[in-house]
Amino acid sequence: MQLPDPSFLLIQCLSGLTYAMFLFLIASGLSLIFGILRVLNFAHGSFYMLGAYLTYQFVSYFINSPAYFWWAVLFASVSVALIGGIIEMLLLSRLYVREELNQLLFTYALVLILGDFAKIIWGTGQLSISRPAILKGAVQIFGQYFPEYNIFIILLGPGIALLFWLIMTHTRWGRIIRAAALDREMLGTLGVNVSWLFTVVFTIGAWMAGLGGALVAPIAAIVPGMDVEIIISAFIVVVIGGLGSFWGTLLGAVILGQVISFGILVLPRLSMVFIYILMAVVLILRPWGLLGKPLKR
Amino acid sequence: MILEVTDIYTSYGLSQILFGVSLKVETGEVVSLLGRNGVGKTTTLRSIMGLTPPHSGSITWKGKEIARKLPHQIARMGIGFVPEDRRIFSDLTVWENLDVAIKSAKKTGQGWTMERVFELFPALKPIQKRRGGYLSGGEQQMLTIARTLMGNPNLLLLDEPSEGLAPIVVHQLGNQIMKLRQEGMTILLCEQNARFSLQLSDRLYILEKGVVRYRGSVADFRKDEEAYKTYLAL
């Protein structure tokens, strides 16, 4: 068997990384919400989907502005954050005292409601928007072309990861959020309004999902069903990396991105199978994920 | 009167723990709440703090009713809670544990800073960067008190501070609580270790099965051999 051209492999690797950065953005929001609120948010993929649809919508509003794409990304991701915050404040916050099953059913209900909502407003067809003007081109890497927009995403991912890490470790807000993940009752007795903190964390998580959806809009089809597709992948990422572990999420996203990207080369129809095998192996050997910690209750 | 608990009834789920507990703490006093395991000492403190609110009765703090308030509101009004199992944020360093607990001193007039806390607990100063999970029992106990002090409380609710500590560490802790007392801190101290607790206190309450069985000054209690035998001799 002849080995493929190295530059082709590099491009494949970069494609995998692009996908990984979206997965990271979604999965880290999911992981953050689980880590602090102890709620597994099925609707996280729906926030991602809303981010993409709203970007499509805002692009049509801002089309006459030169930086219309960036405005649309900003407005769409912030709208999703606000929707998330309102949902947490008015509805989800009432369910923390209930069993976990009630919370799961609630977030699953949100998946169905938001999915139908999107179909009613934007229909069932496939929508798309074009890449922003300044990133329309492609760069040549060893003779192969690779889109500039994807390079932007590959650079943005670690940037957001770094920013996030700095906030969590070097700001008082970050320290309070980490403390909330460890012992929320104790934190309350120290004078921190934990229910407000939960709203803020859920809003940030929803914003990350919305931003992921907004940024994926120019390079993916905006269709009903993108919510469920991404949430499954995001769950796999956090299972592999370790739910609640920040670096684990990044590692899980990179692994998943690469396995899908190269799996397609080896056995195109079975690329997802590799992922499930990997997840099964991790679950058997390290049920808490590669970089996670065993959950204490 | 700074804290007044009047006839509170508190339950955990279906099991009732407190049956009409009343107690008072005056400004600058150290008051012991004694009794054997499971008589409702911790529940009394948790009721005051709003963690397990009483279903009837009243709790007033500086003249305001607080029985229906939330823990963070009660904390902001100047009550500091030091839980029995310490509950250090294990993944945060000593410094970070103290930092998250900082609250403005505007309402309470206390002026606790990191420096002042390290003055009271010098052992914490060299281990500021160590994670809470890697501390010894004594260090954790100091940290949990220090952390609560960062919120500038007027009243400290101390739950079993001597539990699980070596005698020499308990002795040291006693000195530190004494120092707090000398600086004018008001303290409600729950203990099973009566000897430790009484040497620090002005007055005491003894709980039995969710009811106050004895109340009085430490001096009177020491003279009352019968009461001592009935309630504390094991």
Of B30, B13, B29, B11, give the one whose Cα is nearest residue B21: B11
The whole-angstrom separation of Cα A241 and Cα A34 is 14
Alpha-carbon distance B180 to nearest alpha carbon in chain A (angstroms): 19
Picking from B72, B89, B150, the nearest residue to A182 by CB comes out as B89
pLDDT reported for residue B56: 94
Q: Please indicate whether, in this complex, the C-beta atoms of A188 and B71 are within 8 angstroms of each other.
A: yes
pLDDT tens digits, A223-277: 999 999 999 999 999 999 988 788 899 999 999 999 989 888 888 788 778 888 8
Q: Are B129 and B95 in contact, with CB atoms under 8 Å apart?
A: yes
**Cα-trace Rg, chain A:** 19
The pLDDT of residue B1: 64
Mode of pairing for the β-strands spanning B30-34 and B203-208? parallel
pLDDT in tens, chain A (297 residues): 566 788 888 999 999 999 999 999 999 999 999 988 989 999 999 999 999 999 999 999 998 888 999 999 999 999 999 999 999 999 999 998 888 899 999 999 999 999 999 999 999 999 999 999 889 999 988 888 999 999 999 999 889 889 989 999 999 999 999 999 899 999 999 999 999 999 999 999 999 999 999 999 999 999 999 999 999 999 999 999 988 788 899 999 999 999 989 888 888 788 778 888 889 999 999 988 888 877 654
Domain tally for chain B? 1
Q: Does A183 touch chain B (CB under 8 A)?
A: yes
Distance (Å, rounded) from C-alpha B67 to C-alpha B69?
Answer: 6
DSSP, res B54 = -
**Single-letter residue type at A79:** S
- Quote the CA–CA distance of B74 and A189 in Å, as a whole number: 8
Contact present, A238 and A31 (Cβ < 8 Å): yes
Q: Residue ranges of the alpha helices (H) in A5-99?
A: 6-37, 44-62, 68-90
How far off is chain B from A295, nearest CA to CA, in Å?
14
Give A248-265 as a DSSP string. HHHHHHHHHHHHHHHHHH
Which structural domain range is residue B185 located in? 3-231
3-state SS, residue A287? coil
Would you call A190 and B99 a contact, using CB atoms and an 8 Å cutoff? no
Interface test with B, best of A190, A194, A196 (most B CBs within 10 A): A190
Cβ within 8 Å, pair B90-A182: yes
Could you tell me if A129 and A218 are in contact, meaning their C-beta atoms sit under 8 angstroms apart? yes
Q: Is the CB of residue B204 less than 8 Å from the CB of residue B34?
A: yes
User: Using an 8 Å Cβ cutoff, are A111 and A43 in contact?
Assistant: yes
What is the per-residue pLDDT for A2? 65
- Give me the residues of chain B with pLDDT under 50, please: none
Q: Are A47 and A82 in contact (CB under 8 A)?
A: no
Q: CB–CB of B71 and A183 under 8 A?
A: no
CATH of the domain at B105: 3.40.50.300
Rg (CA), chain B: 17
From the CA of A156, how many Å to the nearest CA of chain B? 28
Amino acid, single-letter form, for residue A287: P
- Nearest CA to CA, how far is B197 from chain A (Å)? 23
**pLDDT single digits (tens) B2-37:** 999 999 999 988 899 999 999 999 999 999 999 888
Please give the pLDDT value at position A297: 47
**For residue A197, what are the CA distances in angstroms to A85, A216, A296, B48?**
11, 29, 22, 23
Q: Yes or no: say if B231 and B206 are a contact pair by the CB < 8 Å rule.
A: yes
Q: Whole-angstrom Cα distance, residue A184 to residue B89?
A: 10
